[in-house]
A = this chain, B = another copy of it.
Amino acid sequence: MSVVSVAEFDRIVRAGLPLVTVFGIETLELGPGTARLRLSGAREHVRPGGTVAGPALFALADVALYAAVLSRIGPVELAVTTSMTINFLRKPAPRPVIAEARLLKLGRRLAYGEVLLLSDGEADPVAHATGTYSIPPDRPSP
């Protein structure tokens, strides 16, 4: 199971990353190396045609992967994204988007994982992201 609780993770991101509140991102579930989050389809992220904006989906994927990392290493606030690739696959409906993140590698210095983004209630992903987090050196190896 996750070494960080949903409440603890929410506290960390709300304190450290005010965008999470702006975007209405909330954590639904944390497992060992996995995380499930939701982005509520707020007006501010909408593009012409009524779709959720790319940067809001990026933020969701970024925070979801951060959650998956912390679910394994604990509340290390200074873990930072070093790279992220996101592919936008379908126009999301103007409603909540769910992120499902999972780690594919957790090393001493780098963690790597992927995130699937889905419009709530639909099977086909709206986006897919992969990313790398750098883990500060001054901590015991996992």
Contacts and interface: CB of A to CB of B under 8 A. Distances in A.
B104 A128 contact: yes
A49 interface: yes
Contact of A19 (B53, B84, B104): B53
Contact of A88 (B18, B55, B77, B80): B80
A4 B87 CA distance: 27
A45 interface: yes
Interface in A54-92: 54-56, 58-59, 62, 77-78, 80-91
Interface of A: 15-19, 22-23, 43-49, 53-56, 58-59, 62, 77-78, 80-91, 104-105, 109-110, 112, 114, 116, 124-125, 128, 130, 132, 134
